[in-house]
Chains A and B, each alone.
Chain A
Amino acid sequence: MGEHHTSSLPTEPLLLPENHLIRKLPVIGAVLAVLGIGGALAFGGELRAFSYLTGYIFWLGVALGALFFVLVFNLARASWNIALRRIVENMAMTLPMLAVLFIPVLYFMGDLYHHWLHPEGDPILEGKAAYLNVTFFLVRTAMYFVFWCGMAWFFRKHSVDQDSDGDRQHTAKRQSFAAPGIAIFALTLTFASFDWIMSIDAHWFSTMFGVYYFAGANVAFYAVLAVILLWLTSTKRQKAVGGIDRVVSHQVMHGIIRADHLHDVGKMMFGFNIFWTYVTFSQYFLIWYSNIPEETLWFAHHFENGWETSFWVLGFGHFLFPFLFLISRNVKRSRLGLLAGAAWLLLMHGIDMQWLVMPMASHGGVHAHFGVTTAEILSFIGVGGAFVGTWGYYMCKSSLVPIKDPYLKESMSYEVALS
Chain B
Amino acid sequence: MASDAKEWGLLAEFENPAAIYHACERVRDAGFKKWDAHTPFPVHGLDDAMGLDRSKLPYVVLVMGLTGACLAMLLQWWVSAVEYQMVISAKPFFSWQAFVPITFELGVLFGALGSVFGMLGFNQLPKFHHPLFQSARFERVTDDRFFISIESTDVRYEPEGTAQFLASLGALAVERIGDPNAK
List residues of chain A with CB under 8 Å of any chain B CB. Answer: 1-5, 281, 284-285, 288-289, 291, 327, 329, 413, 415, 417-419
Closest to B58 in A: A419
Report chain B residues within 8 Å CB of A2: 44-45
Q: Is the CB of B52 closer than 8 A to any CB of chain A?
A: yes
Q: How far is the CB of B121 from chain A (nearest CB, A)?
A: 16
Chain B residues near A4 (CB, 8 Å)? 45, 48
Q: How distant is the Cα of A197 from the Cα of B136 in the complex, in angstroms?
A: 69
A sample of 20 cross-chain residue pairs with beta-carbon separation below 8 angstroms, ordered by A number, consists of A1-B17, A1-B18, A1-B21, A1-B43, A1-B45, A2-B45, A5-B45, A284-B97, A285-B100, A285-B101, A289-B97, A289-B98, A291-B89, A413-B44, A415-B44, A418-B48, A418-B54, A418-B55, A419-B55, A419-B57
Closest B-chain residue to A330, C-beta based? B54
| A288→B44 contact, CB < 8 A | no
Q: Which chain B residues border A3 with CB–CB below 8 Å?
A: 45
Beyond known contacts A1-B21, A415-B44: 16 more, CB 8 A cutoff: A1-B18, A1-B43, A2-B44, A4-B45, A4-B48, A5-B45, A281-B100, A289-B89, A289-B97, A329-B54, A329-B58, A413-B44, A415-B45, A417-B42, A419-B54, A419-B55
Closest to A281 in B: B100
Q: Which residue of A lies closest to B21 (CB)?
A: A1
Q: Which residues of B contact A (CB under 8 A)?
A: 17-18, 21, 42-45, 47-48, 52, 54-55, 57-58, 62, 89-90, 97-98, 100-101
A3 and B44 CA atoms in complex are apart in Å by: 9
Q: How far is the CB of A18 from chain B (nearest CB, A)?
A: 37
Least Cβ distance of A358 to chain B in Å?
24
Asked if A1 and B44 make an inter-chain contact with CB atoms under 8 angstroms apart, the answer reads yes
CA distance A419 to B55 in the complex (A): 6
CA–CA, A112 to B44, complex, Å?
A: 56
A329 to B61, CA, bound (A): 14
Q: Does the CB pair B21–A418 fall under 8 Å?
A: no
A267–chain B nearest beta-carbon distance, Å: 13
Q: Chain A residues near B57: list those with CB within 8 A.
A: 419
Q: Is the CB of B97 within 8 A of A288?
A: yes
Residues on the B chain within 8 Å of A284, using CB: 97
State the Cβ distance, A62 to closest chain B Cβ, in Å.
29
> Is A418 a contact of B52 with CB atoms below 8 Å?
yes
Top-4 shortest CB links A-B: A418-B47, A2-B44, A2-B45, A1-B44
Across the two chains, which residue of chain A brings its CB closest to B53? A418
Bound together, the chains give a CA A419 to CA B115 distance in angstroms of: 12
Q: With A281-B100, A288-B97, A289-B97 in contact, is A417–B47 under 8 Å at CB?
A: yes
CA of A419 to CA of B52, assembled, Å: 10
What's the Cα separation between A284 and B98 when bound, in Å?
11
CA–CA, A285 and B42, complex, Å: 44
Residues of A within 8 A of B52 (CB): 418
List residues of chain A with CB within 8 A of the CB of B43. Answer: 1
CA distance A281 to B17 in the complex (A): 49
Query: In whole angstroms, how far apart are the Cα atoms of A2 and B48 in the complex?
Result: 9
Query: From B48, which residue of chain A is reached at the shortest CB distance?
Result: A4
Cα distance A94–B69 in the bound complex, in angstroms: 43
A418 to chain B: which residues have CB within 8 Å? 47-48, 52, 54-55
**A329 CB contacts on chain B under 8 angstroms:** 54, 58
- Give the Cβ gap from B10 to chain A, nearest Cβ, in Å: 24
Among residues of A, the one whose C-beta sits closest to the C-beta of B52 is A418
Residues of A within 8 A of B47 (CB): 417-418
What's the Cα separation between A285 and B100 when bound, in Å? 9
Determine the residue in chain B with the shortest Cβ distance to A278: B104
Q: In the assembled complex, which residues on chain B have CB atoms less than 8 Å from the CB atom of A291?
A: 89-90
A418 to B52, CA, bound (A): 9
CB-nearest residue of chain A to B45:
A2
Give the chain B neighbours of A327 by CB distance below 8 A: 62
In the complex, how many angstroms separate the beta carbon of A327 from the nearest chain B beta carbon?
8
Q: B58 — which chain A residues lie within 8 A by C-beta?
A: 329, 419
CA of A419 to CA of B45 in the docked complex: distance in angstroms?
A: 13
Q: Which residues of A contact B42 (CB under 8 A)?
A: 417
Residues of A within 8 A of B48 (CB): 4, 418
A413: chain B residues at CB < 8 Å are 44
CA distance A1 to B44 in the complex (A): 5
A289, B90: Cα distance in complex, Å: 10
Provide the bound-state CA to CA distance between A233 and B97, in Å: 43
In chain B, what residue has the closest Cβ to A285?
B97
Which A-chain residue is minimally distant from B47 (CB atoms)?
A418
The chain B residue sitting closest to A1, CB to CB, is B44
Residues of A within 8 A of B18 (CB): 1
* Nearest CB of B to A57, in Å: 27
Q: A127 CB to closest chain B CB, in angstroms?
A: 28
Question: A284 CA to B21 CA in the complex, in Å?
Answer: 53
CB distance from A141 to the nearest CB of B (A): 36
Bound CA–CA A288/B21 (angstroms): 58
Q: Which residues of B contact A288 (CB under 8 A)?
A: 97
What is the CA–CA distance of A419 and B122 in the complex, to the nearest angstrom?
13
- Kindly list chain A residues whose C-beta atoms are within 8 Å of the C-beta of B100: 281, 285
Assembly CA distance A281 to B42 (angstroms): 40
Taking CB atoms, residues of chain A closer than 8 Å to B54 are: 329, 418-419
> A417's closest neighbor in chain B, by CB?
B47
